[in-house]
């Protein structure tokens, strides 16, 4: 037993390196089955969690300004280089305008600067969002770079805001099972996204909501928005929650892949945060941060 298990693990990882992320829907922890009918209990549970996260303060926001620092696990970069984009994705400054569905990101890495602007689409089939990507000031026309950037940008909005990013969007959802997360008993709410994360037509998200404090401590999600991650499922655990500006923020996060193979992926933390500078969408959508959006997020 002690020699066989490591050998099997190595074969699994090597297979993941060599092959696309192919997985049978029946084996996925979040199969992309037809969305259910409305579940009033799930809708109420999500809204209660959003209230615990600071829904009233969130409703008054114009903008969110955050900076991150983090580390990717090396093997993940080998499996998904377009998503990790290690040469550019070091520290980041990010600007969110929630009412417009905008996430704008400015990365700095060993290969220079990367700027991303993502605007979420609506629920019409032909409105799955718009993305623009610049590398060292030059706008990219590479579809793979655009699709990967859209997936990452939308994901980071979800990870930062949890139920606030999903509430009041009229999404189908239902109650799932009960799950233990870091010793906490959590109710699981399954949500069907259409459009999905980034440019995906659809995705599924499961929120693990603590029965005690109402906070989301784990987000599990499909990755249909990029060709090489289709069929994969990942999850993000959040830690060290702090209440600032009337809202709850996950100051530290950890991502792992859970399907089709188990693999640690990414650790990151919030290094700066402030809100309501009052800028407009054109201050973050032209390939750089302008005006009131330009200054770094206030260090925390």
Q: DSSP assignment of 149-214, as one string? A: HHHHHHHHHHHHHGGGGTTTS---EEEEEEEEETTEEEEEEEEEESS-STT-S-EEEEEEEETTT-
Per residue in 63-116, pLDDT (tens digit) is 999 999 998 887 776 777 667 776 777 799 999 999 999 999 999 988 899 999
Per residue in 46-57, pLDDT (tens digit) is 999 999 999 999
Query: Over pLDDT 90: what percentage of the chain?
Result: 70
- Closest residue by Cα to residue 170 from 57, 48, 43, 53: 43
Query: Which has more pLDDT, 201 or 60?
Result: 60
pLDDT value of residue 62 = 97
Q: How confident is the model at residue 277 (pLDDT cuts 50, 70, 90)?
A: very high
Give the least confident one: 14-18, 137-141, 202-206, 272-276. 14-18
What is the residue-wise DSSP string for 93-145? EEEEEGGGTEEEEEEEETTEEEEEEEE---SSTT---EEEEEETTEE---HHH
pLDDT value of residue 180 = 96
Per residue in 124-134, pLDDT (tens digit) is 555 678 999 99
pLDDT value of residue 23 = 41
- pTM summary value: 0.87
How is residue 83 annotated by DSSP? Answer: H
pLDDT value of residue 77 = 65
Is 9's pLDDT higher than 50?
no
Q: What is the mean pLDDT of the chain?
A: 88
Q: How confident is the model at residue 8 (pLDDT cuts 50, 70, 90)?
A: very low
Q: Are 291 and 283 in contact (CB under 8 A)?
A: yes
pLDDT value of residue 126 = 55
Question: CA 243, CA 146: separation in Å to the nearest integer?
Answer: 34
Per residue in 209-248, pLDDT (tens digit) is 999 999 999 999 999 877 778 899 999 999 999 999 999 9
Mean pLDDT to the nearest integer, 238-260 = 97
Pick one of 3.90.800.10, 1.10.10.60, 2.60.40.10, 2.50.20.10 as the CATH number of 21-293.
2.50.20.10
Degrees, nearest 5: CA angle 109-112-113: 90
């Amino acid at each position: 037993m002690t020699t066989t298990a490591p050998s099997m693990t190595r074969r699994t990882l090597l297979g993941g390196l060599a092959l696309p992320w192919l997985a049978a829907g029946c084996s996925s922890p979040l199969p992309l089955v037809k969305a259910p009918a409305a579940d009033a209990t799930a809708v109420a549970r999500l809204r209660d969690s959003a209230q615990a996260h600071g829904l009233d303060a969130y409703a008054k926001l114009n903008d969110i300004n955050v900076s991150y620092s983090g580390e990717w696990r090396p093997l993940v970069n080998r499996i998904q280089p377009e998503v990790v984009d290690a040469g550019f994705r070091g520290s980041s400054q990010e600007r969110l305008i929630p009412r417009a569905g905008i996430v704008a990101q400015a990365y700095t890495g060993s290969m220079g600067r990367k700027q991303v602007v993502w605007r979420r689409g609506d629920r019409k089939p032909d409105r799955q969002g718009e993305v623009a990507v610049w590398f060292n000031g030059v706008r990219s026309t590479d579809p793979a770079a655009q699709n990967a950037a859209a997936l990452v940008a939308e994901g980071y909005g979800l990870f930062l805001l949890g139920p606030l990013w999903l509430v009041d969007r009229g999404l189908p959802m239902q109650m799932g099972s009960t799950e233990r997360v870091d010793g906490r008993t959590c109710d699981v709410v399954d949500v069907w996204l259409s459009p999905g994360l980034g440019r995906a037509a659809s995705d599924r998200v499961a929120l693990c909501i603590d029965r005690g404090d109402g906070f989301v401590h784990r987000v599990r999600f499909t990755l249909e928005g990029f060709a090489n991650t289709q069929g994969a499922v990942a999850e993000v655990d959040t830690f060290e929650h702090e209440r600032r500006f009337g809202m709850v923020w996950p100051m530290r996060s950890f991502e792992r892949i859970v399907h089709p193979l188990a693999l640690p992926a990414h650790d990151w933390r919030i290094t700066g945060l402030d809100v309501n500078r009052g800028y407009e969408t054109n201050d973050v959508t032209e390939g750089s941060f302008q005006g009131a959006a330009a200054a770094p997020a206030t260090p925390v």
